[in-house]
Each structure stands twice: as C-alpha cells, then as structure tokens.
Structure 1
C-alpha cells in the first residue's frame, strides 16, 4: 500500500497593526526588524501600516485584527490603547522610574543609559576634558530626551565634570534663525575644546550648522556626536557626523517574537527588555586631535568642508588670514605634512568611500572628489595606496563579502 505524504497544516494569517511613524528613521528600523522576523520564520501576518498612524489615531483601539505593536513614546498612543483587549507589545524609551512604563504590557526599550554611556566614553576617549549635551525642550512627547539628559548628568558628575545641558528651542521654520542664533551664542560660551552629545542626529546637525555659522572649527574646538545613525542627516552636512547606532532592528525582532507567542496564548505582563546600542559610526565630527595653532584648526575646518571642491593651498591661507609660507610652517610643525597633503588626504578618503559605495563611475568619483582628471586620481591611488581605483574597489568589496 503506497505511503501518503502528509501536507503541512496551513497557518492562520493574523492581522497585525504596526503603529509607528514610518517617516522617522528610528521607527523605520524597528519596522525593518519586524520584517526580518517575519522573513526568518513561518509566521503569516497581514500587516496594517501607515506612514504616520497618528493622523488616524482616533478609533485605533477598535482595530479589527489580532494584535498590535505600537510606539509608546507618544502619550497619546498610551492613552488610546489603555483599554485595548488585543495582544499588544509596546516599544519605546527606557526609563529610570518604573512608574513611567505602561502597566501589564510587555515593553521593548532602547537602553538610554547605554546609548549615552557609549557616546560619552567615545568623546572622553578622544581626550576631551569638557562635555555638554544638546537636548530638546521638555515635553510629554520628549520624555526619552529627558532620560538621556539624566544619563549624561550622571556620567559627567562621575568624571567630576560640570553637566552642561542646553535644550534650546523646538526647530520650526518660523523660529529656525532665532534658534540657531541662540545655539551659536551657547556654543561660544562653552569652554573649548568641548565634546557635545546631541540627543538625536537632527539635533547634531543643528549643532553643526550653528558651528559653521559662528566659525567654530569642528571637531578641533567642538566635537559632535548624535544618536540614530540617520543616513539622510549624513547627506545634508559637509562634515560627516559621528552617531550612535541604536539596536532598533533588534527591538523590532524582539517585539515580533513576543507578539508571535502572545497570539498563541502566552502572556508577558510587565515584561521589559532593554536593548543596547549596536555601536558607533565614527566619522569626522569626533575625530578630535589636540592642536595648538588656531590657524591650523581653522585651516583644517575649511579643508574638511571644501577639499572636494578643488581648493588650493592659497585659498586656505586666504581664508585663515596668513601667508602661504606661514601656514605651511604651522602645518609642518603640528601636522608633519603640507597643506596640499592634507587637502589630498580628504579627497582621497572621499573617493575611497564613494568607490566602496559603488553608485558612481570612476570618472564621476574623480569629478565629485575634486581631482583635476581621472588620470590624476589614478596616479594618486597608485602612489598612496599602491593600486588603481578599480582594484581598491574590488579589494574593499571582497573584504566585506561573507
């Protein structure tokens, strides 16, 4: 008698609402983590997701589905879902006060204390003796920012430093100029050099703009680090911003795993998971190097912004306000290189980064990085790296391949 092959029992498809603002990088990465969990398991979920669910928050508690994963940093969400009877997993900030967490719900949190500790110790390790924090105005929707302030204060006090915190204004089009002027005045008042921890990448970018307007060299006098590692922020700044990479994708995977279990009867009342950061994307804004000469500080700041626009030594000297020979002497004394070599180093680093990214031809890379010709870029690569741009690209790609 022929054996019969048992067909797998089809899984029930669950209707799940993801209540996140898909316009924010933090929320998008949590959603990415949820998607990773779905792809790596046999879970069958029909997802309800809007770009910004808050526009249609009224009535969401009556969602005709099977479960919800929601951003609980917004008090309005907490209030609306307080009486929700569906399996619900909350995601948001960590808090020092346990009373700040929603009762009787599983809660997946970004570990604010570890985020701030990682950023603080990075600045401290760079040799900076003064620290400050650029936060957000106190608000029920910014509770996570105040938690980061508390973590910063504790670390600064442990190091015997003054915990300088500036909240500034909420950034909006009508107040932008006024907010930037106030921020620049605060930056001018700080002892230099100083490391500043911004509670988000958006605040870090605001800091950088204020420094550029005030003529404050970054990172020679102000080193800046943000939180979120937002790729959009990096495209909007001439000086690349260092940033702490949150464990947001892991938060999403963990939230999905808990909800999966809850859909099959498990319950996790009051269960909390604190997810640590992944690491730091270290870029130019925190590559602090102690320098004595103000001319070298200002020159490097100018080079960092405009090296890829084909600037020459004479233009750097004009910007700094000294003769070319004097500036060259300062550079030889402090940097052990010429101004031209410093310009070339930034151009070469930019070209290497573009080649690794791989979204432009070698000719485009040469133009966008300020080389006078493709042949000149090839000559620089051979002289400095012992390979052609294409060979460098192939080596870099093979180095990151599994």
Structure 2
C-alpha cells in the first residue's frame, strides 16, 4: 500500500511551527504510520499551486489568513492548527481545529508575575493586522484578567519589525518603558517581542526585573541565546498540538468524521529565568548595579566597574548590597557567572573550556575551584547530577 501524501503548510522559521511539525513527526514515529510529507524546500508556507495538490490531506497553520482561505475549500481532508478564540464564530466551519489555549497562556504568565509581588501590569502586543489575530486574542484575555482584578492593564502594540524601522521602533519602545509606572510586570505576545522589550529596557537604562519584570511566550532557545538577560517564557503545548493534528488527520484518512472537532491544548508550563524574578529592592544603586551585572558579569567585570556605572564609590555600594541582599557585589557577580555556567553545562555540544570562557572565568582550573567551593563537586560531577 502506498503511503498517504500529506502537505504541511507551516513556516519553520518560527519555533512554534517547528514544534508543531516535531509533534507530527512524533506521531508518525510512535504509530509507525507511513506518510509521504510535502514541505517547501526552504520550509516556508506557500499557497501558490496548492489548489493543484494531488495529495491525500493537509495540516496547515490557520493563523495565516492566506493559508486558511486557500485550503478551506479544497476537496480533501484538512486539519487546522492555530490560536484559540473566545468567539466560537471565529473558528473555521466544518474543519477540525487544534488550538493553543491563549487564555491559559496569558493566565500562566499573569499568575507568575503576581506571585512575584507585582501589582501593576502591561501587555506588549503586535499591531492589529489580519495575521495577528492570535496576538489580539492574548491581548483581550490580558485585558479581561486585569479588568476582573480591578487593575489598569496597560497595552502597547509597537511597530512591525523591519530593518529600516528598527532603530525608530526601539526608541519608541524605550520611551514607552520610561513612561510606565514602576515596578511593573509586562507580558509579551511572543518571545521575539519580549527580546525587543529587553533590549529597549537596556536602551532606556531601566533595570530588569527590579523595575520591569518580563515574561514571553514560546520558550524559544534562539531568543535565549540572543538575550543578555535570560528570558522567562511560557512553554506552549505545540508538540502536543502536532501529535493531535496528525491523529485527527489519520482518523479522517480512514473515514472518520472530525469536522466539528475543537481541541484546546494548554501550555506545558513556564521556564522561569532572570527576566521575571522580581524582588522588592529599595536602593536605586542596587537596582542599577544588578542591571549592569546581568549584562556584563560574564565579561570579567570587577566591583570597581560596577561602582563606576552606578556612580558611587565601592565602599557605599558594598554597604547598599549588604543591607539589601546580604551579599557583596563580588558574590552577586560570581552567582551570575555560575548560573550561566550551569545553563551551558546542560548543553553537551559546549566543551567545558568553552563553558569557562563564556561564563567569564579566567580559566577552566579556576571554574573547577569555584565549583568545588560553592557546590562541593567539579563541573563534570555537577553535569552528571543534572543528567541523573
């Protein structure tokens, strides 16, 4: 029996789409179903010629209105994947739909910020465009949650990102950040938006997370790699969405009627990192110092450089740190270097010597000495504990 020919219409440059595709692949692996999968060679979603597709079925990203319109009327089984809607009328008719639960995504981020003692909240969304309906849904849930709590939820859309307008867009976001009441927790519609916000906070010289705590959505490893302050992010259940979509299509290919099926997939959880770990800090000197340390600790900075950035001498800065954090400036720098090293140790592609250099230690031997002193084990032994 020949394998079914299935088209996947997704843009694999986005982590969400890649995870959905991964879930589809997992379904095929676990069930040993044989499908001949079609995707564009550059893994982009294009609808040109899709009406001529002579395959057996399609799984498509319906967040893209062009894709949704192009495949909805095709005379073959189609499974839609996309964002959830508060209004049932916004779902496509007679097409099974697997959705990420936008309400629970925002709720996870919102509750996390509340747990860190924040009482002011904002949402950094996307401009209202046909392809951004999912972002509007997240914005709407944020507005409802803050309204229900009697709070003034601040919403900012910003500009579309492109090379020509990037500088202006960043300045606009920085100006918005400066204007916000603080401390404040901000939920970004995506990790990409959250990274832009992190950069704007650095431009505006606003400490993260002491004055602005940030949570993204997607848990995108590329964004983590490109951010000097590690980003807290809600983890979508995108792989589960892919597995579910593949299972629905499998049923349809064998005569099942799934046309009225609506499945909402909740988030997996939240990856908590430095960007949201707000603490109530009184001293503005400690706020500024920690903001500087998060950016430059792994570049070998010393206490004197931190004091220069803050604008006071070393002795009073140390007094502020002892009063607020019960730690010295050097200890906070070292903690950040160790945190960075621990994250990198979990990646087997990074050698121990590279971990030492990229974490700001002067040598591999010095990193070993610090690990023995702080954790009573070597980096290798720490890595083995992680794997266990």
**Could you tell me which residue of structure 1 aligns to residue 257 of structure 2?**
267
**Could you tell me which residue of structure 2 aligns to residue 86 of structure 1?**
76
Among 306, 312, 325, the alignment partner of 2:296 is: 306
Among 323, 334, 348, the alignment partner of 2:324 is: 334
Among 62, 65, 72, the alignment partner of 1:72 is: 62
**Could you tell me which residue of structure 1 aligns to residue 6 of structure 2?**
16
**Could you tell me which residue of structure 1 aligns to residue 359 of structure 2?**
369
**Could you tell me which residue of structure 2 aligns to residue 138 of structure 1?**
128
**Could you tell me which residue of structure 1 aligns to residue 305 of structure 2?**
315
Give 1:52 shift. 4.6
Give 1:42 shift. 2.6
Among 236, 239, 251, the alignment partner of 1:249 is: 239
CA–CA separation in structure 2 for the residues paired with 1:54 and 1:385: 48
Count residues with an aligned counterpart. 387
Query: Is the Cα contact below 8 Å between 1:61 and 1:83 reproduced in 2?
Result: no
TM-score, normalisation: structure 2:
0.98
SS at match of 1:390: helix
Query: Is the Cα contact below 8 Å between 1:114 and 1:277 reproduced in 2?
Result: yes
SS at match of 1:81: helix
For residues 234-253 of structure 1, the C-alpha deviation after alignment (integer angstroms, 9 at most, x for no partner) is: 11111011111000000000
Among 150, 153, 167, the alignment partner of 2:143 is: 153
SS at match of 1:138: coil
**What 5-or-longer segments of structure 2 have no aligned partner?**
none
SS at match of 1:15: strand
For residues 313-332 of structure 1, the C-alpha deviation after alignment (integer angstroms, 9 at most, x for no partner) is: 00000000001000000000
For residues 305-344 of structure 1, the C-alpha deviation after alignment (integer angstroms, 9 at most, x for no partner) is: 1111110000000000001000000000000010001111
Among 197, 221, 224, the alignment partner of 2:211 is: 221
For residues 159-183 of structure 1, the C-alpha deviation after alignment (integer angstroms, 9 at most, x for no partner) is: 2210110001111111111111111
For residues 255-312 of structure 1, the C-alpha deviation after alignment (integer angstroms, 9 at most, x for no partner) is: 0000001001001122100000000111110011110000000000111111111100
CA–CA separation in structure 1 for the residues paired with 2:39 and 2:13: 12
**Could you tell me which residue of structure 1 aligns to residue 337 of structure 2?**
347
For residues 89-137 of structure 1, the C-alpha deviation after alignment (integer angstroms, 9 at most, x for no partner) is: 1111101111111101100001000000000101111111100000000
For residues 131-168 of structure 1, the C-alpha deviation after alignment (integer angstroms, 9 at most, x for no partner) is: 00000000111000100011000111122210110001
Higher-Rg member (1/2): 1
**Could you tell me which residue of structure 2 aligns to residue 4 of structure 1?**
none
**Could you tell me which residue of structure 1 aligns to residue 220 of structure 2?**
230
Among 181, 188, 208, the alignment partner of 2:171 is: 181
For residues 213-249 of structure 1, the C-alpha deviation after alignment (integer angstroms, 9 at most, x for no partner) is: 0100001100111111111111111101111100000
CA–CA separation in structure 1 for the residues paired with 2:104 and 2:352: 41
CA–CA separation in structure 1 for the residues paired with 2:60 and 2:51: 11
Among 86, 110, 114, the alignment partner of 1:96 is: 86
Computed over aligned residues only, the root mean square deviation of the Cα atoms, in angstroms, reads 1.1
SS at match of 2:264: strand
**What 5-or-longer segments of structure 1 have no aligned partner?**
1-10
Matched, 1:105 2:102: no
Matched, 1:30 2:20: yes
TM-score, normalisation: structure 1:
0.94
